[in-house]
Homo-oligomer: A and B are copies of this chain.
Amino acid sequence: MTADGPPAAPPSAEDAAARAGLSAVAEPGDPVLGALLRTQPAAQVWAALRAGAPLDAPEGCAAALQGRLERWRARARGTDVDRMLTRAAEYGARLVLPGDPEWPSQLDTLAERRPHALWVRGAHDLRNACLRAVSVVGSRAASAYGLHVTSGLSHTLAERGWCVVSGGAYGIDGAAHRGALAGGTATVAVLACGVDVGYPRGHEQLFAEITGHGVLVSEHPPGTTPTRHAFLVRNRLIAALTPGTVVVEAGQRSGAMNTAAHAQELGRTLMAVPGPVTSALSAGCHRLLRDYQAVCVTSARDVIEQLSPVGTEPPAESGVRVGTELLDDTARRLLDALPERGSAGVAVVAAAGGLSPDAALRHLGLLAAAGHVERTATGWRRRTSDERRS
């Protein structure tokens, strides 16, 4: 799922600014812009749009480009990238682009519908957070049963070190994020609005907590309010960020069914939690089980089993996946910087390892995914070999 070989070259500052602008101009994942950006630098596309200059259409895209050009040019003229970046910085939002260390390369399977840019806000590194992640989604109008099952499932997944990815909406999404936060692993909310907008309003406090203990992600620049269409386009990201999507509770026409369809189309593991057949709110889940070959899952254990490669029993979260000898020098230095007993804060570890706090956090995330360290309430600590085996 992740790209092989060396990562793409990091984007230049010029290209980054151009992609920031383009995120306000084209639809997320617009395939014509995707094709343009594969054949020419973002800065060049952006400059042409701003200047109203002609653009070389990629093969087969001439007519489609023509149909978009006027709209894109008008929007580009009305976009102040500097102000956009300033606003983002004020809100602690950062731009993450293909080629960046924080770019989740599993999104590359979206091919021509890959995001052109991600706006990210939160204490965690998006790529690291998604190293061991699962999407947990469902209806806004959820039953007490659905909310109960979602909280328990996400809580256990988080306790076992799995990041829960969801859409930040009322109902199942909210329960998924809350359960994950309570379980102590970063959670990722993929929004259909700007990461500073915080829709729905009633989740303001939840988004604040996710900012502190996880990541908010959006393809839309700060300040964007959500549209109905944006939710559907956003759903492909939720499906693409993880190797598997669990639909906990969904009616026949729930947006979660759309996320499920994306997951299946992308070749991800599609899972559904059953419920009473007397509940219309589980009808979508049952349809996924009957007609979409979704796997029936009833617990976090089931979910983890589905996502762990065959032969990795006991489950991956309790075993070392990367031997110490395979760690790079920086990771090993950081591991050595952790105290033998007890835990240490990021700043302390970073200083002892000779890294910036940001870089230290990124490497600690990788070390956690590899089973060497874990985050506790008081900081980071080593896992003993006994713990890794158990």
Residues of A in contact with B (beta carbons under 8 Å apart): 145, 148-149, 273-278, 282-283, 285-286, 289-290, 295-299, 302
Contact = CB atoms under 8 A, between A and B. Distances in A.
13 contacts: A273-B277, A274-B274, A274-B282, A274-B286, A274-B289, A275-B275, A277-B298, A277-B299, A283-B298, A290-B295, A290-B297, A290-B302, A296-B296
A214 to B, nearest CB: 26
Contact of A149 (B275, B277, B283): B277
A282 B343 CA distance: 43
Residue in A145, A148, A277, A299 whose Cβ sees the most chain B Cβ within 10 Å: A277
Given A275-B276, A286-B298, 13 more contacts: A149-B278, A274-B276, A274-B277, A274-B282, A274-B285, A274-B289, A275-B277, A276-B276, A277-B298, A277-B299, A283-B298, A290-B295, A290-B296
A145 B274 CA distance: 14
A157 to B, nearest CB: 15
Contacts of A282: 274
Contacts of A302: 290
Contacts of A145: 276, 278
Q: How many copies does the complex hold?
A: 2
A293 to B, nearest CB: 9
A53 B365 CA distance: 80
A291 B297 CA distance: 10
A282 B286 CA distance: 14
B278 A286 contact: no
Contacts of A295: 290
Nearest to A290: B296
Contacts of A273: 277
Contact of A296 (B148, B274, B276, B297): B274
A148 B285 CA distance: 21
A289 B276 CA distance: 14
A339 to B, nearest CB: 41
Nearest to A152: B278
Contacts of A275: 274-277
Nearest to A296: B289
A331 to B, nearest CB: 37
A251 to B, nearest CB: 13
Question: What 8 pairs across the A-B complex have the smallest Cβ distances?
Answer: A274-B274, A289-B296, A277-B298, A290-B296, A286-B298, A286-B296, A276-B276, A273-B277
A295 B296 CA distance: 11
A30 B49 CA distance: 83
A302 B287 CA distance: 10
Contacts of A299: 277
A297 B276 CA distance: 11
Nearest to A291: B296
Contacts of A278: 145, 148-149
Contacts of A149: 277-278
A99 to B, nearest CB: 40
Nearest to A271: B290
Contacts of A277: 149, 273-275, 298-299
Nearest to A298: B277
Nearest to A285: B274
A303 to B, nearest CB: 11
Contacts of A289: 274, 289, 296
Contacts of A290: 295-298, 302
A286 B290 CA distance: 13
A113 B145 CA distance: 45
A355 to B, nearest CB: 44
Nearest to A288: B296
Contacts of A274: 274-277, 282, 285-286, 289, 296
